Amino acid sequence: MRYLYGVLFTLLIIGASAQDGLKRPDIPGEVMADIGFNVWSSMPGGLERKTWSSKSVAIYYMKRKALSGKLSFNYGIGLGLEKMSLGDSSTLASNYTFTSGSTDSLAAVGIIPNPQNFQKNRLATTYLDIPFEFRFHPLGTQDGEGLFLGVGGIVGLRLNAHTKWKYDNNGETVRDKVSGKFNLNSFRYGYQVRMGFRGVHLFYKRYLSNVFQDKFQDGKNPVMTTVGINVTGF
């Protein structure tokens, strides 16, 4: 999360400078932000998911190469943060999943009292992403403005991951944050579709790689989908 905070702080400084009449640096390309929700195709190991608190945020620096008056190739690099809210009864611990009756898994990260009473239970993962796509402008374009449909792909490298728990212990609120691999895949790849105008549009990303390296005991290993809205032109 600190990576995204750094990027957002830089964007705020640039925006404030522009409002004060200072000249913005003439840097080729532009910054775009994807904001939305993520979904796993299945929830393994007894895990649950809270829809509205499972968020996806990405900040990309993008460049555009015009191929014709209606077609361009857009590519870039940036950071993607996936925050999955796991409900209140089960969570991930190291390379294990534990529930209220799984003492072996609890021992992997220390004793966590009464895990059925999680007030907050999240898995957060940060990726270094490389998105790319072809954009078709049916009405034509000069600099990428106007209506468009984009189709492309995305590859990412996992930088870090952590779980964050909040629960009650004998009347005291306890907050724990544990970093680890959690059996997560080091790489992810998939395809993306975008539609709208240059400044604001909708996106759909479907990752073809599994979230975890190995299947759970129930045979499940989900893939991730993210949907949301994009703002471009910082």
Spell out the residues 6+ positions from residue 75 whose beta carbon is closer than 8 angstroms to its own: 62, 63, 65, 130, 131, 132, 133
Q: Round to whole Å and give the CA distance between 101 and 114.
A: 10
- Using CA atoms, how far residue 217 sits from 42, 46, 89, 104, 105, in Å, is 13, 10, 18, 15, 14
In 3D space, the residue among 90, 167, 100 whose CA is nearest the CA of residue 123 turns out to be 90
68-81 residues labelled b (16+ CB within 10 A) or e (exposed): eeeebebebebbbb
- Give the number of C-alpha atoms closer than 13 A to the C-alpha of residue 31, restricted to the C-beta side: 17
In 20-153, which ranges are continuous DSSP H helix? 103-107
pLDDT of residue 109: 38
Widest CA span in the chain: 67
Q: Round to whole Å and give the CA distance between 28 and 131.
A: 17
In the chain, which ranges are continuous DSSP H helix? 2-19, 103-107
| Both structure tokens of 144 | 């990428």
Query: Read out DSSP for 134-196?
Result: EEE-TT--SSS-SEEEEEEEEEEEEEEEEEEEEEEETTEEEEEEEE--TTB-SEEEEEEEEEE
In 3D space, the residue among 71, 74, 76 whose CA is nearest the CA of residue 61 turns out to be 76
Query: Within the chain, which residues score under 50 in pLDDT?
Result: 12-19, 100-114
**AA letter at 35:** I
pLDDT of residue 10: 53
Residue 59's CB is within 10 A of a number of other CB atoms, namely: 22
